[in-house]
Structures are given as C-alpha cells and as structure tokens.
Amino acid sequence: MILAQNVGHGSDVGRVRPLNEDYHRVWQFPTIDGSLTLLAVADGMGGAAAGEIASKLAIEVLDKSFNLYVAEINQSKPVVGIDRLIEKSIRFANRQIFKKAFHEGEHKGMGTTLTLIAAYKGEVYLGHVGDSRAYLIRDDSIYQITKDHSWVAEQIEKGLLTEEAAETHEWRNLITRALGTRIEVTPDIIEISLKKHDVFVLATDGLHGLVKPLEILDEIRQNKDHQAAVEYLISMANERGGHDNITMIVSEINS
C-alpha cells in the first residue's frame, strides 16, 4: 500500500495579482487494493477570471476521472494502468478547456499548467504540462523531475541561454505547452521508482521563480512539519516580491 504522509499544502494570491488563478488538490482515494494518492497543482493564465476557470476545470476533470477509476476498481472491473489514466485525464482536461475557450469569447486564449503525482499499488507516476514543477527530495538531495515547457528552458537546453540570464529574461514567462491553448496536447508521463522517505514537492512558478531548490530542501529537511514548511516557503516568496500567485504541495509518499 502506498500512502501520502505528513502532507502540507497552501496557496496565496501574492502581492501583485488581483486574484488567485492557481488551483491545487490533495486526494487519498480508498480502494479495495489500498489507497490511491493524487497530488496536483494548476497555474491558470488568460487574463480576467479566465485563468482561474481553466485551472479549476483541469482539477475538476482529474477529480471526476480518478473517482470513476476508483469506482471501477471497487467494483472489480478491469482498468487501464495508472499511467494511461493520467494521460487520458490530461488530454481530456485539455479538450474541455479548449472547447470552453473556443465557444465563450470572454475566455478566448485561456489555459493552464498541470503537474501531478499519482501513486497506487507500488507505482508512482508524474504527469506534467507547462512550467509548474515537481521536485523529489531523496536522502539529502533535491531533484527537479519535471521539464519546464517554456521558451527559456528550451534556450538553456540548446546552450543559447544561461540559467542566470533566464531568471531575468523578458520572455521568462513564455510557456510553450499548456492545457487549453491547442486542440491537442502531449503531456510528459514519467514513472518514478519509489524509495522509503521520498518527499515530493509540487510548486507553481510563483514559488519556484523566487525560492531556489536548495532553499526548499533546507527548509523541508530542518522542519519536519510539512504544513509549516509550506507556509514558511510561501511567505519567503511573498517577501521577495510575490509577483505571481504562489502554490505548493509537500508530501512524503511511502509504500
């Protein structure tokens, strides 16, 4: 059985934006074969309230998809693998957001990032679209396990831009892949080998754009209360300007 333990999560509007367009959820679904854990963050974009609608819709689609999946498990029906479920859920969320934006003019151009961790029956998978991030803290190290779908990340990968220059580049917020902006989207789906006491961190760019990975690692290692760590790291991002909405989930996942 895989369980999420010592979970901390929170979201803050920041110091600049008029409303919070981030959305996040932590689920623990009971099944006849043990618990299914799901962690997700979504960072909406599109102006006015459109970003908030896109991110909320992405989370609602996940909720519905995983609830239906768990219901089939509990009825002893055959189901697809958890990796396939993640892919289908993300693609469906993309189509729902795109459809809503297409048919409702005031929401034209809206979209959202989506980053999630799902754990079930000894398997852990990451699903990812956009520039929100997932980190894995293992032993005394922190690893970024997502790839930013952004213009600056692509330039860094090509060797055309340094990480230092990317931090202040005028196009640092330009996302190259998101839910809802095109009729189809290809999510990154990655299987993660789980080790005892692994800690997963999900964060929107309002957090990871202002707080370094090593600072996240130091706080989580020093403060065993993950809720307190989340609140402290969100306050740190606000102290450094809070130029965007700030959302974070921290959870230990053990088998």
pLDDT tier for residue 49 given thresholds of 50, 70 and 90:
low
Mutual orientation of helices 50-74 and 82-103 as an angle, nearest 10°? 140
> What pLDDT does residue 1 have?
58
Residues 6+ apart with CB under 8 A from 58: 23, 40, 42, 93, 97, 112, 114, 179
User: What pLDDT shows up at residue 5?
Assistant: 82
pLDDT band, very low/low/confident/very high, at 205 (cuts 50, 70, 90): very high
Kindly tell me the burial class for residue 16, based on how many C-beta atoms sit within 10 Å of its own C-beta (0-12, 13-18, 19 or more): exposed
Cα separation, 4 vs 253, in Å, equals 5
pLDDT value at position 4? 73
Q: Which is the CATH superfamily of the domain at 3-254?
A: PPM-type phosphatase domain (3.60.40.10)
User: Are residues 126 and 190 in contact, defined by beta-carbon separation less than 8 angstroms?
Assistant: yes
Element (H, E) at 229: helix 226-239
DSSP secondary structure code for residue 105 in this structure: G
Structure pTM?
0.94
Using 50, 70 and 90 to split pLDDT, how confident is the model at 47? low
Give 153's Cβ-side CA count (13 Å radius): 16
Rounded to 5°, angle at Cα 119 from 146 and 224: 75
Which pLDDT score is estimated for 2? 64
Confidence of residue 133 (pLDDT cuts 50, 70, 90): very high
Residues 222-246: pLDDT tens digits?
998 999 999 999 999 999 999 999 9
The domain locations on the chain are: 3-254
Residues 6+ apart with CB under 8 A from 80: 88
H helix or E strand, kind and range, residue 236: helix 226-239
Instruction: Say how far apart CA 106 and CA 123 lie, in whole Å.
Output: 41
